[in-house]
Amino acid sequence: MVKIWFMDNEETDQRLEHHRNPPQYLELADLYRKTGVEYFKINADEYQSDKILSELRAKRGYTYDDEITCSEKCLPDYANKLKAFFTEHLHTDEEIRLILEGTGYFDVRDDEENWLRIEVIKGDLIIIPAGIYHRFSLDMNNFIRTRRYFVGEPVWTAHNRPADEMDCRKSYVKHQSEHFVQFNKA
Ligand SMILES: [Fe+2]
CA distance linking residue 148 with residue 97, whole number of Å: 5
Q: Write out the binding residues.
A: 89, 91, 95, 134
> How many whole angstroms from 99 Cα to the centroid of ligand 1?
15
> How many whole angstroms from 114 Cα to the centroid of ligand 1?
17
Q: In what order do the strands lie in the sheet with 64-71?
A: 38-41, 124-128, 95-102, 143-150, 64-71
Long-range CB contacts (< 8 A, 24+ apart) of 176-180?
Answer: 176/34, 176/35, 176/36, 176/111, 179/33, 179/34, 180/32, 180/33, 180/36
> How many whole angstroms from 2 Cα to the centroid of ligand 1?
19
> How many whole angstroms from 46 Cα to the centroid of ligand 1?
26
| pTM for the structure as a whole | 0.95
> How many whole angstroms from 151 Cα to the centroid of ligand 1?
15
Return per-residue pLDDT of the chain as tens, 186 residues. 799 999 999 999 999 999 999 999 999 999 999 999 999 999 999 999 999 999 999 999 999 999 999 998 888 898 888 888 999 999 999 999 999 999 999 999 999 999 999 999 999 999 999 999 999 999 999 999 999 999 999 999 999 999 999 999 999 999 999 999 866 554
* Distance from the first to the final alpha carbon of the chain: 27
Domains (range + CATH), the chain: 3-179 (2.60.120.10)
